[in-house]
Amino acid sequence: MRLHSLFLVSVFVLSAGSLPAIEILPADEVFQGQTVQVRILCDSDILSAFHSTVDGIERMEIALVDWRGRTHGESMAFQIDRDGLCAWYGLLGISSIADPGLYTLRIRIMSNRFGLEERMELSVREHSFNEMRLQLGRALTALLTEPNQERLVESRQLQEILGTVRREAVYHTGVLTVPVVANRISAQFGDRRTYVYADGRESTSVHWGTDFAAATGTAVDAAGAGRVVLARDRILSGKTVILEHLPGVYSLYYHLDSLSVAEGQFVETGVRIGTVGMTGFATGPHVHWELRVSGQAVDPMRYLEVPLLDMHPIMGTIHE
């Protein structure tokens, strides 16, 4: 019998008054399509019980929970120790289709012997998104509606990639850069789309990224440093590149005409990863640029000004 598989986890719910600092950004409220960041310093009192044990911290989980107790997103936290700052960070993407209202942000810290839990209120605010109607021809209608086993396999593979959190994958913490020089944004993050099929039927969808219209062959560059976790041709997204920037944080580039990188390769910010095209489900040459945090699509344009990870000494709200 393996003793370590039989441990009991005791979870203590601490009142806000008994907790040392837990830093939250943004402070107390977040809009649909944004990211919540949690930081706990390594030398904080809340982590002292774990430092005094042989096991240390095994894992730290961040989750968004509604008033019914249903989870609307969760992520594993990770530790960064650099430039004199040691802290645990948790990043949680808030879906653009999350219902506005009051939620609970749940933080669980666990070792093999015991665990701690803290809960705090977080308000999700409504954001205004555009509406679009797209008339599709027969070829694009078939691409979306005809049964295709390979398309289902690709979808499962994509979800597996985006759901992977490797705690050691800390490659880019700062702001992102625009991946393509283009003078026209043809579709924005969160657009509510209605597809009108060739036979007159309709369906609705949400646009998870930002589309930059540009001439075929225009260079597409890495928006941030990262590891190439996917570089291949797919049915719907066409020639596709996915970069891993942080644990559970990925940028995606769709409909490329050509690929300039290979899976497993590490790239710096601004390195060419491909060229603009209209492969897959596309009505014209463009690059679809998407950002995923803990599996959820968030607005990538926000991170042209806001860093993926706030490394400043003090962030937004301190809960004590």
| CATH number of domain containing 254 | 2.70.70.10
What pLDDT is stored for residue 315 in this prediction?
55
Q: Are residues 269 and 213 in the same domain?
A: yes
Q: Are residues 69 and 120 in the same domain?
A: yes
Q: Are residues 109 and 140 in the same domain?
A: no
Q: Are residues 116 and 88 in the same domain?
A: yes
Q: Are residues 222 and 137 in the same domain?
A: yes
Q: Which two tokens stand for residue 237?
A: 């997204």
Distance CA 286, CA 121 (A): 40
φ/ψ of 272, rounded to 5, equals -65, 130
Question: Which structural domain range is residue 172 located in?
Answer: 131-304
Distance CA 99, CA 216 (A): 38
19 has a pLDDT exceeding 50? no
Single-letter amino acid, residue 292: R
Q: Are residues 191 and 121 in the same domain?
A: no
**How does pLDDT run across 131-168, given as a tens digit for each residue?**
999 999 999 999 999 999 999 999 999 999 999 999 99
Q: Are residues 111 and 187 in the same domain?
A: no
Q: Which two tokens stand for residue 186?
A: 């043809």
**How does pLDDT run across 74-85, given as a tens digit for each residue?**
999 999 988 778
pTM: 0.90
Distance CA 288, CA 285 (A): 10
- Considering only CA atoms, give the Rg of the chain: 21
We report the CATH number of the domain holding residue 10 as: 2.60.40.1220
Residue 97 region by backbone torsions, left for phi larger than 0, else alpha for psi between -120 and 50, else beta: alpha
What pLDDT is stored for residue 182 in this prediction?
75
Q: Are residues 113 and 182 in the same domain?
A: no
Q: Are residues 246 and 282 in the same domain?
A: yes
Q: Are residues 118 and 144 in the same domain?
A: no
Q: Is residue 231 within 8 Å of residue 240, measured between CB atoms?
A: yes
46 has a pLDDT exceeding 90? no
Q: Which two tokens stand for residue 185?
A: 């944004």
Q: Are residues 143 and 277 in the same domain?
A: yes
1 has a pLDDT exceeding 60? no
Per DSSP, the three-state class of 257 is strand
Number of domains comprising the chain? 2
Q: Are residues 203 and 224 in the same domain?
A: yes
* Exposed/middle/buried for residue 316 (C-beta within 10 Å: 0-12, 13-18, 19+): middle
Average pLDDT over the chain reads 88
In angstroms, the Cα distances linking 291 to 111, 195, 311 are 31, 23, 20
